[in-house]
Structure 1
């Protein structure tokens, strides 16, 4: 099927097919076939085209995977946040205003579910988030349910100290309440603090400890412009849901051996 939306978008920017193809590192004839629907781009190429024309690369997912609002894999973001209290989400955002809107929705719907909400964020961003929250939640709702952890504190501490931070929070939490974690990452690194934390927990495993059976909804957010196509796909293997500024879908690349979602291991208690 001809991709009329792609043709309109290219023409609105007054780009030729040659211009888009050159900037996306592909042959013009191949790009032409993508527009006419005769060929489907690989995910790497879809990302490159999306960056050239500045649109959501998930648009190609909708074409290639037949994702639309009638299919089970499609989820409106507020609807998902209201209905779910367990899972792990990779969020690649293009627009910071949309990012702020979604983090506020994530926290508000969590408070309404009586969830404990942990937000790991830069202080300057959290100030904006808090200002928006105050328009929807009371002061006591914010104080009783939302816990801010400065990203700089996380990055500057050793894994043992990070575990201590989470255990202090756990001491304040009722075991039956679900937990939500929203984490902003400014950049992607192979051996980041999550990887180091996971290694530490593996090495420090103590059979006198047990994992509590909590419902945890975990979201990790990146600026999509800072993530290469290769890293984008690699990350998609680790999360069961993918989120953009406009939707959440089941990840077609997810592998159940995901080891990046280690937060349940932080919520442990002595027998």
Structure 2
């Protein structure tokens, strides 16, 4: 399903739902954006699910610990992105809802509001670009049906122009990346 319109944004403030694509170039700006995303979720009494790699997660966590309390930190959950996307043996868009019961004690859709941030990475798998588009289309449906706020982040250097355009067509928002 192709998008009719893409809204370009500089930050996530004020957004409560939507499917956002983010091609990052600057790691410091990226980490700041993840932290801002999680804090904005706390301000709206939402859980934040951060799907990230083992190199960047500690940097995000360190930044969060400088700003939020321990009880607030309990509402920010991390999932290893490799475990999330390759749980079924090959690259697939696992539904965040499959993970929530194991992350949030007594989780139920009716009681908890959730937002997700996913750093999408892959190895040197050739067919991954087609799978990316299919996974993002699935994710777009899940985001709309559940009225979620979901960010899909990609390292700009790892995405071809063709794949980039294909991914953009499956999102309603594009966040800019710039050094802060």
The alpha carbon displacement at 1:185 in A equals 1.2
CA distance in structure 1 between the partners assigned to 2:10 and 2:132 by the alignment: 30
**Which residue, out of 108, 124, 131, partners 1:191?**
131
- Structure 1 residue runs of 4 or more that deviate by more than 4 Å after TM superposition: none
Q: Alpha-carbon deviation of 1:96?
A: 0.9
Where do 5+ consecutive residues of structure 2 fail to align? 1-6, 123-127, 139-144
Three-state SS of the structure 1 residue aligned to 2:152 is strand
Residue correspondences, number: 158
Instruction: Give structure 1 stretches of 5+ with no counterpart.
Output: 1-72, 199-212, 247-271
Instruction: With the length of structure 2 as denominator, give the TM-score of the two structures.
Output: 0.74
Q: Distance in 2 between matches of 1:96 and 1:196?
A: 23
Change (3 A) 1:76 1:155: closer
Partner of 1:122: 53
1:181 aligns with 2:116: yes
Q: Distance in 2 between matches of 1:238 and 1:124?
A: 28
- Distance in structure 1 (CA, Å) of the matches to 2:32 and 2:15: 18
CA distance in 2, matches of 1:153, 1:122: 9
Given that 2:136 and 2:170 are in contact with CA atoms closer than 8 Å, whether structure 1 keeps it comes out as no
Report which structure shows greater RCO (CA 8 Å, sep ≥6).
2
**The one of 147, 150, 154 aligned to 1:222:** 154
The change in CA–CA distance for 1:192 and 1:232 in structure 2 (over 3 A counts) is closer
Higher normalized helix content (fraction of residues): 1
Q: Do 1:177 and 1:214's aligned partners in 2 also have CA atoms closer than 8 Å?
A: no
Is residue 2:59 matched to residue 1:133?
Answer: no
Taking the aligned partners of 1:183 and 1:94, their CA distance within structure 2 comes to 16
Q: Alpha-carbon deviation of 1:175?
A: 2.0
